[in-house]
Amino acid sequence: MRLSDAIEEFIKELWMPDEPEVELKRNELAEYFRCAPSQINYVLSTRFTPDHGYAIESRRGGGGFIRIIRVQRGRRESFRYLLQDRVGEAISARDAQILCLQLAEQGTISLEDAELMNAALKPQSQAVPIPEQMKDTIRAKTLKNMLLSILRRAQQQ
Amino acid sequence: MRLSDAIEEFIKELWMPDEPEVELKRNELAEYFRCAPSQINYVLSTRFTPDHGYAIESRRGGGGFIRIIRVQRGRRESFRYLLQDRVGEAISARDAQILCLQLAEQGTISLEDAELMNAALKPQSQAVPIPEQMKDTIRAKTLKNMLLSILRRAQQQ
DNA sequence: CTGATTATGGTCAAAGATGGTCAACATCTT
DNA sequence: AAGATGTTGACCATCTTTGACCATAATCAG
């Protein structure tokens, strides 16, 4: 079995039932698997992405950590389509706006959230001289992270 | 847990209800936590700054003290200060996160909004190869637009 | 009074403790 | 063989902790 797969599995077994998150030490994990610490980052960036229903937070320095937050299994599945197909790797401001409004109309998210997301996604928020393609990529990532946040919020209630 | 976090928590528990300020002795605190006195300054300068909503007064010499004051701002005032002074033309992900959390703590915005904004502002939302400076600029614009959106929402009600 | 002594708090730089990024190299799939 | 996926290591960024040295206020001895 590949190292990456083993690490992925190991991490997934760290969760207690119903716990929304686990915390780990990069160096400890790397030592446990006798691999380069950056290998952990590789696993995280390929298997614990928003598309997979996970969000990551971390801190450097003494007492540093990596925290992985997940949404419920069922929701993970149901949002796969939304995140991967509907948003994808890049999305225009226009398409993003349409998506937000549509989600609000169908009651998936609140109108307030839709407008807040829209504010973050509109062109003025990215008024800097970089290629449009970059902007669409950033927008997609931003949108996914926001949707994930809303999803996580819903699960806590 | 980090020493700094423990000290931060300890200090925050010193507040009596409705008291706007708390007073402490640097050396006593340091002795209590068995750390270098300058550690206290570190905690103060990283967790009780104006950006965190605190002001500090102190006096040296016999009978010296450190006084920590919670600053209170009205909602409107708070927003204007944020948009004009605090966010500015560029802001790091960490500073943006501190800002969001502080706004939620002081009740200016809801915790949900804070987390949603945070999701949009975290580094993963901008994981593309462009200069950090660009990212900080985009983040500032994004944050301002989101704050404006919340402000507008509030005004309609 | 005044100068010395004592009691505080402040600054800053160095060292330690983590995690992040990126590009080269390796291995697996097709 | 070519492209996708996985692995590593060098170098970077950030956060924490400590200690040496500095500044200021109160008190005490003469």
The domain ranges of chain A are 3-70, 73-156
Cα–Cα distance measured from residue A124 to residue B140, given in angstroms and rounded to the nearest whole number: 11
Strand C nucleotides below 7 A of a protein CB? 6-13, 16-23, 28
pLDDT above 90 for B75: no
For every residue of chain A, DSSP letters joined together read --HHHHHHHHHHTTPPTT--EEEE-HHHHHHHTTS-HHHHHHHHHHHSSGGGTEEEEEE-STT-EEEEEE--HHHHHHHHIIIIIII-S---HHHHHHHHHHHHHTTSS-HHHHHHHHHHHSGGGG-SSS-HHHHHHHHHHHHHHHHHHHHHHHHH-
Predicted local confidence at residue B141, as pLDDT: 97
d(CA B31, CA B97): 32
Average pLDDT estimate for A12-25: 95
Whole-angstrom distance, CA of residue A149 vs CA of residue B120: 9
CA–CA separation, B48 and B24 (whole Å) = 13
Token output for B43: 């905690």
Class of domain B3-70: alpha beta
Q: Are B128 and A134 inside 8 Å of each other by CB?
A: yes
Question: CB of A70 within 8 A of CB of A50?
Answer: no
Residue A122 φ then ψ, to 5°? -70, 155
Q: What average pLDDT does the segment A62-89 reach?
A: 89
Contact B71, B56 (CB under 8 A): no
Residues of chain A contacting residue B148, judged by C-beta atoms under 8 Å apart: 119
- Does residue A156 carry a pLDDT above 90? no
Give me chain A's average pLDDT, please. 94
Please give the share of chain B, as a percent, with pLDDT higher than 90.
Answer: 80
> What's the whole-number mean pLDDT along residues B57-61?
97
Q: What distance in Å separates the CA atoms of residue A92 and residue A102, rounded to the nearest whole number?
A: 15
Q: Which residues contact B88 (CB under 8 A, 6 or more apart)?
A: B140
Asked if residue B128 lies in contact with residue A138, where contact means CB atoms within 8 angstroms, the answer is: yes
| CA dist B98 → A17, B49, B72 (Å) | 30, 11, 17
Residue A68 β-bridge partners: A22, A56
Backbone φ and ψ for B125, nearest 5 degrees, come out as -75, -15
Residue A157 has pLDDT above 70, yes or no: no
Helix or strand or coil: residue A34? coil
Per-residue pLDDT for A149 more than 80? yes
Inter-chain CB proximity A146 and B116 less than 8 Å: yes
Question: Percentage of residues in chain B with pLDDT exceeding 70?
Answer: 100
Residue B73: per-residue pLDDT: 84
Inform me whether the pLDDT recorded for A76 exceeds 90.
no
| B117-146 average pLDDT score | 95
Q: Is the CB of A38 under 7 A from strand D?
A: yes
Mean pLDDT across the stretch B61-72? 95
- Mean of all residue pLDDT scores within chain B: 94
Per CB-CB distance under 8 Å, the chain B contacts of A112 are 153
Beta strands B21-24; B65-70: pairing state: antiparallel
Sheet holding A21-24, edge to edge: A21-24, A65-70, A54-59
Between B1, B117, B153, which is nearest A115 by CB? B153
Q: What is the mean pLDDT of residues B3-16?
A: 97
